[in-house]
Amino acid sequence: MGKLDGKVAIITGAAQGMGAAHAKLFVREGAKVVITDIKEAEGEALAKSLGENTLFIKHNVASAADWDNVVAQTKAKFGRIDILVNNAGITFAKRLQDISEDDYLKIFQINQLGTFLGLKAVAKEMVAQHSGSIVNISSLNGLVGGAVGYTDTKFAVRGMTKAAALELAPSGVRVNSVHPGVIETPMISQPGTEEAVKQFAKAIPLRRIAKPEEVSKLVLFVASDDASYATGSEFVVDGGMSAQ
Protein backbone atom coordinates (compact mmCIF):
# COMPACT_ATOMS: atom_id res chain seq x y z
CA MET A 1 0.00 0.00 0.00
CA GLY A 2 1.42 3.37 -1.04
CA LYS A 3 1.43 6.56 1.01
CA LEU A 4 -0.50 8.35 -1.76
CA ASP A 5 -2.98 5.70 -2.82
CA GLY A 6 -6.08 7.37 -4.27
CA LYS A 7 -4.49 10.83 -4.32
CA VAL A 8 -4.23 13.12 -7.35
CA ALA A 9 -1.19 15.40 -7.47
CA ILE A 10 -0.07 18.28 -9.69
CA ILE A 11 3.69 18.86 -9.80
CA THR A 12 5.03 21.89 -11.66
CA GLY A 13 8.44 22.09 -13.29
CA ALA A 14 8.44 18.30 -13.32
CA ALA A 15 9.99 17.48 -16.70
CA GLN A 16 13.46 17.18 -15.16
CA GLY A 17 15.49 17.60 -11.98
CA MET A 18 13.74 17.60 -8.61
CA GLY A 19 10.28 17.79 -10.12
CA ALA A 20 10.84 14.63 -12.15
CA ALA A 21 12.15 12.87 -9.04
CA HIS A 22 9.03 13.93 -7.12
CA ALA A 23 6.78 12.65 -9.92
CA LYS A 24 8.49 9.26 -10.07
CA LEU A 25 8.24 8.75 -6.30
CA PHE A 26 4.62 9.91 -6.14
CA VAL A 27 3.62 7.43 -8.85
CA ARG A 28 5.44 4.62 -7.02
CA GLU A 29 3.51 5.58 -3.88
CA GLY A 30 0.15 5.21 -5.65
CA ALA A 31 -0.68 8.75 -6.80
CA LYS A 32 -2.10 9.85 -10.10
CA VAL A 33 0.27 12.63 -11.17
CA VAL A 34 -0.13 15.57 -13.51
CA ILE A 35 3.32 16.68 -14.69
CA THR A 36 3.52 20.28 -15.88
CA ASP A 37 6.40 22.13 -17.49
CA ILE A 38 7.28 24.34 -20.43
CA LYS A 39 9.66 21.62 -21.64
CA GLU A 40 7.19 19.68 -23.76
CA ALA A 41 9.34 16.88 -25.18
CA GLU A 42 10.91 16.01 -21.82
CA GLY A 43 7.57 16.17 -20.02
CA GLU A 44 5.80 13.98 -22.55
CA ALA A 45 8.60 11.42 -22.40
CA LEU A 46 8.52 11.29 -18.60
CA ALA A 47 4.75 10.90 -18.48
CA LYS A 48 4.90 8.10 -21.06
CA SER A 49 7.58 6.28 -19.05
CA LEU A 50 5.51 6.50 -15.86
CA GLY A 51 2.38 4.99 -17.37
CA GLU A 52 -1.35 5.54 -17.42
CA ASN A 53 -1.54 7.23 -14.02
CA THR A 54 0.28 10.28 -15.33
CA LEU A 55 -0.65 13.18 -17.58
CA PHE A 56 1.65 15.84 -19.03
CA ILE A 57 0.39 19.39 -19.60
CA LYS A 58 2.52 22.12 -21.14
CA HIS A 59 2.30 24.93 -18.62
CA ASN A 60 3.66 28.41 -18.06
CA VAL A 61 3.23 28.82 -14.29
CA ALA A 62 3.22 32.62 -14.68
CA SER A 63 -0.03 32.44 -16.66
CA ALA A 64 -3.38 32.39 -14.83
CA ALA A 65 -5.03 31.02 -17.98
CA ASP A 66 -2.56 28.14 -18.07
CA TRP A 67 -3.34 27.37 -14.43
CA ASP A 68 -7.07 27.29 -15.22
CA ASN A 69 -6.30 24.82 -18.00
CA VAL A 70 -4.22 22.60 -15.70
CA VAL A 71 -7.00 22.48 -13.11
CA ALA A 72 -9.64 21.73 -15.74
CA GLN A 73 -7.60 18.98 -17.41
CA THR A 74 -6.65 17.41 -14.07
CA LYS A 75 -10.28 17.23 -12.98
CA ALA A 76 -11.39 15.91 -16.37
CA LYS A 77 -8.75 13.15 -16.30
CA PHE A 78 -8.60 12.20 -12.62
CA GLY A 79 -11.68 13.79 -11.02
CA ARG A 80 -10.12 15.81 -8.19
CA ILE A 81 -6.97 17.54 -6.87
CA ASP A 82 -5.47 16.42 -3.56
CA ILE A 83 -1.90 17.68 -3.76
CA LEU A 84 -0.09 20.56 -5.40
CA VAL A 85 3.69 20.73 -5.43
CA ASN A 86 4.76 24.21 -6.55
CA ASN A 87 8.19 23.10 -7.73
CA ALA A 88 8.91 25.22 -10.83
CA GLY A 89 11.73 27.68 -10.29
CA ILE A 90 14.65 29.43 -11.96
CA THR A 91 17.70 31.46 -11.09
CA PHE A 92 20.57 33.17 -12.91
CA ALA A 93 24.22 32.86 -11.99
CA LYS A 94 24.70 36.64 -11.98
CA ARG A 95 25.83 39.23 -9.45
CA LEU A 96 23.67 42.17 -8.38
CA GLN A 97 25.55 44.50 -10.72
CA ASP A 98 25.02 42.18 -13.69
CA ILE A 99 21.41 41.04 -13.33
CA SER A 100 19.06 42.95 -15.62
CA GLU A 101 15.54 44.13 -14.96
CA ASP A 102 14.27 41.52 -17.44
CA ASP A 103 16.22 38.80 -15.59
CA TYR A 104 14.76 39.91 -12.28
CA LEU A 105 11.20 39.98 -13.61
CA LYS A 106 11.56 36.52 -15.12
CA ILE A 107 12.71 35.08 -11.78
CA PHE A 108 9.82 36.83 -10.04
CA GLN A 109 7.26 35.58 -12.55
CA ILE A 110 8.28 31.92 -12.28
CA ASN A 111 9.27 31.61 -8.62
CA GLN A 112 6.89 33.99 -6.87
CA LEU A 113 3.97 34.81 -9.16
CA GLY A 114 3.82 31.20 -10.34
CA THR A 115 3.52 29.95 -6.76
CA PHE A 116 0.80 32.50 -5.98
CA LEU A 117 -1.20 31.56 -9.07
CA GLY A 118 -0.88 27.88 -8.20
CA LEU A 119 -2.14 28.43 -4.68
CA LYS A 120 -5.07 30.44 -5.98
CA ALA A 121 -5.93 27.94 -8.73
CA VAL A 122 -6.20 24.88 -6.50
CA ALA A 123 -7.51 26.50 -3.30
CA LYS A 124 -11.11 26.60 -4.53
CA GLU A 125 -11.06 22.89 -5.38
CA MET A 126 -9.43 21.87 -2.10
CA VAL A 127 -11.67 24.04 0.06
CA ALA A 128 -14.75 22.53 -1.62
CA GLN A 129 -13.61 18.99 -0.79
CA HIS A 130 -12.38 20.12 2.66
CA SER A 131 -8.97 18.54 2.18
CA GLY A 132 -5.71 19.07 0.38
CA SER A 133 -1.97 19.47 0.78
CA ILE A 134 0.05 22.20 -0.93
CA VAL A 135 3.84 21.95 -0.85
CA ASN A 136 5.73 25.06 -1.94
CA ILE A 137 9.34 24.42 -2.85
CA SER A 138 11.31 27.34 -1.44
CA SER A 139 15.04 27.02 -0.78
CA LEU A 140 17.78 27.34 1.79
CA ASN A 141 17.82 30.86 0.32
CA GLY A 142 14.32 31.34 1.65
CA LEU A 143 15.94 31.23 5.10
CA VAL A 144 19.36 32.82 4.57
CA GLY A 145 20.87 35.18 2.02
CA GLY A 146 21.96 34.21 -1.47
CA ALA A 147 21.70 35.50 -5.03
CA VAL A 148 19.59 38.62 -5.53
CA GLY A 149 16.34 37.79 -7.30
CA TYR A 150 16.33 34.12 -6.36
CA THR A 151 16.64 34.80 -2.63
CA ASP A 152 13.98 37.51 -2.74
CA THR A 153 11.43 35.23 -4.35
CA LYS A 154 12.20 32.25 -2.14
CA PHE A 155 11.70 34.38 0.99
CA ALA A 156 8.38 35.45 -0.55
CA VAL A 157 7.37 31.81 -1.08
CA ARG A 158 8.09 31.16 2.60
CA GLY A 159 5.87 34.07 3.66
CA MET A 160 3.15 33.20 1.17
CA THR A 161 3.09 29.67 2.58
CA LYS A 162 2.40 30.90 6.11
CA ALA A 163 -0.29 33.36 5.01
CA ALA A 164 -2.10 30.75 2.90
CA ALA A 165 -1.78 28.12 5.65
CA LEU A 166 -3.58 30.34 8.14
CA GLU A 167 -6.34 31.21 5.69
CA LEU A 168 -6.95 27.65 4.47
CA ALA A 169 -6.51 25.72 7.72
CA PRO A 170 -10.20 25.99 8.79
CA SER A 171 -11.10 24.27 5.51
CA GLY A 172 -8.78 21.32 6.17
CA VAL A 173 -6.19 22.40 3.59
CA ARG A 174 -2.53 22.27 4.62
CA VAL A 175 0.19 24.49 3.15
CA ASN A 176 3.88 23.94 3.91
CA SER A 177 7.25 24.88 2.44
CA VAL A 178 10.27 22.70 1.72
CA HIS A 179 13.72 24.31 1.75
CA PRO A 180 16.36 22.35 -0.19
CA GLY A 181 20.02 23.25 -0.04
CA VAL A 182 22.35 22.50 -2.95
CA ILE A 183 20.82 19.72 -5.03
CA GLU A 184 22.23 18.00 -8.10
CA THR A 185 19.88 19.44 -10.73
CA PRO A 186 20.17 21.33 -14.05
CA MET A 187 19.61 24.60 -12.12
CA ILE A 188 23.03 24.40 -10.48
CA SER A 189 24.73 23.08 -13.61
CA GLN A 190 24.68 26.35 -15.50
CA PRO A 191 27.79 27.39 -17.46
CA GLY A 192 30.37 28.93 -15.19
CA THR A 193 29.01 27.52 -11.91
CA GLU A 194 30.92 24.21 -11.75
CA GLU A 195 33.85 25.41 -9.65
CA ALA A 196 31.63 27.51 -7.37
CA VAL A 197 29.40 24.50 -6.67
CA LYS A 198 32.42 22.30 -5.97
CA GLN A 199 33.80 24.83 -3.51
CA PHE A 200 30.40 25.36 -1.91
CA ALA A 201 30.07 21.61 -1.26
CA LYS A 202 33.08 21.79 1.03
CA ALA A 203 31.17 24.20 3.29
CA ILE A 204 28.21 21.85 3.70
CA PRO A 205 28.37 20.02 7.06
CA LEU A 206 27.54 16.71 5.33
CA ARG A 207 30.28 17.53 2.78
CA ARG A 208 28.29 16.69 -0.34
CA ILE A 209 25.64 17.85 -2.80
CA ALA A 210 22.28 16.10 -2.37
CA LYS A 211 20.52 13.91 -4.91
CA PRO A 212 17.02 15.05 -6.00
CA GLU A 213 15.55 11.84 -4.59
CA GLU A 214 16.61 12.90 -1.09
CA VAL A 215 14.37 15.95 -1.36
CA SER A 216 11.55 13.91 -2.90
CA LYS A 217 11.29 11.71 0.18
CA LEU A 218 10.69 14.77 2.35
CA VAL A 219 8.20 16.23 -0.16
CA LEU A 220 6.34 12.91 -0.09
CA PHE A 221 6.07 13.05 3.70
CA VAL A 222 4.83 16.65 3.72
CA ALA A 223 2.31 15.98 0.94
CA SER A 224 0.96 12.80 2.52
CA ASP A 225 -1.38 12.19 5.42
CA ASP A 226 1.68 11.28 7.51
CA ALA A 227 2.07 15.06 7.98
CA SER A 228 -1.61 15.58 8.76
CA TYR A 229 -0.99 18.03 11.62
CA ALA A 230 1.69 20.10 9.89
CA THR A 231 0.72 23.35 8.23
CA GLY A 232 2.48 26.70 7.83
CA SER A 233 5.73 24.89 8.56
CA GLU A 234 9.22 24.96 7.04
CA PHE A 235 10.87 21.62 6.25
CA VAL A 236 14.61 22.01 5.66
CA VAL A 237 16.77 19.53 3.72
CA ASP A 238 20.13 21.27 3.33
CA GLY A 239 22.84 18.99 4.72
CA GLY A 240 23.11 21.16 7.83
CA MET A 241 23.82 24.48 6.11
CA SER A 242 21.20 26.49 8.01
CA ALA A 243 22.43 25.09 11.34
CA GLN A 244 25.76 26.90 11.03
Catalytic residues: 150
Please give the biggest Cα pair distance in the chain.
52
Torsion sign across C-alpha atoms 22, 28, 32, 36: positive
- Give the residue among 238, 219, 216 at the shortest CA–CA distance from 144: 238
> From CA 75, how far away is CA 72, in angstroms rounded?
5
Length in residues, the chain: 244
Packing angle between helix 40-50 and helix 17-28, nearest 10 degrees?
20
Starting at the edge strand that comes first in sequence, how are the strands of the sheet with 132-137 ordered? 54-58, 32-37, 8-12, 83-86, 132-137, 173-180, 234-237
